[in-house]
Structure 1
Amino acid sequence: MIANCPPEEIDGLICRERDSAAAGGYTLEWKHYGHDAPEDLPERLVAAGFVPADEEEVLVLALDEASLAAFDDAGRHEIKIVRDEGSLADYAEISREIGRRNAEEERLALALQVQAGTDEMSIHIAYADGEPVACGRVYFRDGGTYAELSGGRTKTAHRRQGHFTSLVASRLRESRDRGRTHAFVDALPTSAPILRKLGFQFVTRTRPFVFVSDSHGIDG
């Protein structure tokens, strides 16, 4: 995270981060928030070769009994928390089905975290008749009271069946059980209305800008 970078230094910073990604062969995402300066930062990122993705809404929810009750699905869907590296194949299967081109790169990165035994991330997967159909992650940063929901996705044929909401509920319950007081998420236009209806509050807007090195295709 970078804060208070002087405007005259921002172009150099963008180029250094881009060049590091190109040299390392990895995909780099720069998150631009509505309050970020300078005002023309999005244009500078595009000029440096970053590709803008869909705008998202930053939403937050207080983790009290009333808010969690809105997500109660009475155990209608089967949700499993990933405990071993092998289960990440199910996560990658969902990602590939919806067209994410970096599914294998993402699986390998997540596998490293699972191998490390870190408790800063948890991965939840929803199943229907034994088939992995939806998934999502939740992050627990050290020293904070917030949980961050991320990576929510559902196979096309299984949308509008409640899997998305059940996965949110599962991650919210874990967050509360681990002592977090709030959860936030960067929500796409497809999910933001659902989350707001269930109690999440709007904070600001954000847009990812993605730089892909020559060795990777752009993530869909």
Structure 2
Amino acid sequence: MGQAVAHFRADPAVRSVEWKTRGHDSAPGLHGALLAHGFVPADAESIMIGAAAALVANVPLPPGVWLRQVTGPADVRAVSAMQDVAFGDSVSEARADDLLRRLAAGDGTELWAAGHEGRIVSAGRLEPVAGADFAGIWGGATLAPWRGQGIYRALTAQRARSALQLGKTLIHSDSTEYSRPILERYGLVKVSTTTPYNWSREP
């Protein structure tokens, strides 16, 4: 653990690190080691798995809300900033840069967003898994005033459609307590838990 943190510290471009533990893994002492080296645990998330086809549905959007794939740098940065706000974080240019790198990697990752007029209000990624039938849905976030109106559900349905078009028949997701009940209603099953531990470089 000490060597890992030293590696992160040695690269000034690394401002923060997320280390995820899995509920089904046996790793005695890992929790204490992470705490001892400055990692802070967040809330546990549910690992969800299910059929992509089960998530496909025609979901009506609220009046004036649009949904589309996002590719341009300005829109990607707007999505990243919205996600930071939705998750209660400070807006981070570094996270936006990382998202742009992911989309430019050529691995099939897609970014989908919903907005109202010129403002993005919800978004999430689709990440196909190479050599497998799975695609992951990640980063789903909706601004608080827009929750409970079907927007996240519509984004999930669209990402599932896109997964099927890519030949991916299964979906996996690490879900917060906001998204877990939605995915469960459409057939995804909780198979384990995962806990994010976050490390940040001191000012």
If the length of structure 2 is used for normalisation, what is the TM-score? 0.89
Change in Cα spacing, 1:172 to 1:32, as seen in structure 2 (3 Å) is same
Name the residue aligned to 1:169.
157
Alpha-carbon separation, structure 1, partners of 2:145 and 2:39: 32
- Aligned residues between the structures: 198
Is 1:147 the equivalent of 2:135?
Answer: yes
1:145-174, Cα deviation, whole Å (9 max, x unpaired): 110111111111111111111111111110
Are 1:28 and 2:17 counterparts?
yes
Q: CA RMSD in A?
A: 1.9
Change in 2 beyond 3 A, CA 1:92/1:68: closer
Q: Would you say the 8 A contact 1:18–1:28 is kept in 2?
A: no
128, 138, 160: which is aligned to 2:126? 138
Cα offset, 1:75, TM superposition: 6.2
Aligned partners of 1:44 and 1:162: how far apart in 2? 41
Q: Which moved more, 1:81-90 or 1:47-56?
A: 81-90
Once the two structures are superposed, residues 85-144 of structure 1 have per-residue CA deviations (whole angstroms, 9 ceiling, x without a partner) of: 221132033124333225321111122233x35143111111123321001111112212
Q: What are structure 1's unaligned runs of at least 5 residues?
A: 1-13, 216-220
Classify 1:117/1:32 alpha carbon distance in 2 versus 1 (closer, same or farther; 3 Å). closer
Contact 1:55–1:189 under 8 Å retained in 2? no
Aligned match of 2:99: 110
- The runs of 5 or more residues in structure 2 that have no matched partner are none
Give the distance between the partners of 1:157 and 1:111, measured in 2 at CA: 27
State the secondary structure of the residue aligned to 1:144.
coil
Deviating above 6 A after TM superposition, structure 1's stretches of 4 or more consecutive aligned residues are none
TM-score, normalisation: structure 1: 0.82
- Secondary structure of the 1:120 match is coil
Partner of 1:53: 42
